[in-house]
Chain A
């Protein structure tokens, strides 16, 4: 029963946007959300972002929520970045990671489908002799694998690096704020 309940909570929260879940996670409103919900959010955010931001102090009653909201909004307004929105950066990071994986998949598929062309090119090298059929296949296979590796590595690491740079810059910006 308990497991079913956990699963239901998890599946319901999984339908929500990452931004929305981040908001709930950071607000840490224990009055509105149960521990099971927070466990599920933590799990979902870890799956989607690879890491989770720190939570605020837990809120246990409505009065505290109201006071905290007023205090926080004043402080947040003061420290709110002018030139970018942190949520947009988080969303971009997520898309960069997805794009990195998608480009690897595309590189693998396209190079595998081009194996015939690669083999024809190699065939040209041994046009005068038909004694090297196995060697032709091996060279074509090695070239295809190399193509896949080079194509995947260039896209994957560039995009991953960009995503990490954004994360680091955001952290640096956050640390530079007054009162943080």
Chain B
């Protein structure tokens, strides 16, 4: 379907779907940035904890002193990032899905219009 044809057949319903898709797209990026920010904060927090332990002479290496806790913290950081990524992917999928529905409907309407003519 060419751009000219699609603009002629673009109805209010398509516009509504397209608007939702655009909002989902914008939100996907906001959420990704937010979760990256959260991940960076978690990493800084983790580094602070291990740094404090070094200052207090508790340990020189957090991973050696409390390996399970350190691995748990690392996994939680990873989970935060992955959760953000999943939200981003889901919102992107919603964007693409809605856009494909619009495209499909416009294609059928275009075909019907061609046949009429």
Q: Which residues of A contact B (CB under 8 A)?
A: 77-79, 81-84, 88-89, 92, 95-96, 99, 102-103, 106, 109-110, 113-114, 116, 155, 159, 162-163, 165-166, 169-170, 172-173, 176-178
Contacts and interface: CB of A to CB of B under 8 A. Distances in A.
A82 B100 CA distance: 9
B92 A173 contact: no
Interface residues of B, number: 34
Given A113-B75, A177-B107, A178-B114, A84 B99 contact: yes
Contacts, number: 93
A169 B100 contact: yes
Interface of B: 1-3, 6, 18, 21, 68, 71-72, 75-76, 78-79, 82, 85-86, 89-90, 92-93, 96-97, 99-104, 106-108, 110-111, 114
Contacts of A176: 103-104, 107-108, 111
Contacts of B114: 178
A89 B96 contact: yes
Contacts of A163: 93
Contacts of A165: 93, 97
Nearest to A179: B111
A173 B78 contact: no
Contact of B96 (A77, A92, A159, A178): A92
A78 B89 contact: no
Contacts of B79: 106, 110
Given A81-B1, A177-B1, A178-B111, A170 B100 contact: yes
A118 to B, nearest CB: 13
Given A113-B75, A173-B107, A178-B110, A89 B90 contact: no
Contacts of A81: 1, 100, 103
Nearest to B7: A82
A169 B21 CA distance: 15
A109 B75 contact: yes
Given A106-B79, A178-B110, A113 B71 contact: yes
Contacts of A82: 1-3, 6, 103, 106
A95 to B, nearest CB: 6
25 contacts: A79-B1, A82-B103, A83-B21, A92-B92, A96-B93, A99-B85, A99-B86, A99-B89, A102-B82, A106-B79, A110-B72, A113-B68, A113-B72, A114-B72, A155-B86, A159-B90, A162-B93, A163-B93, A165-B93, A169-B101, A172-B104, A173-B100, A176-B108, A178-B1, A178-B114
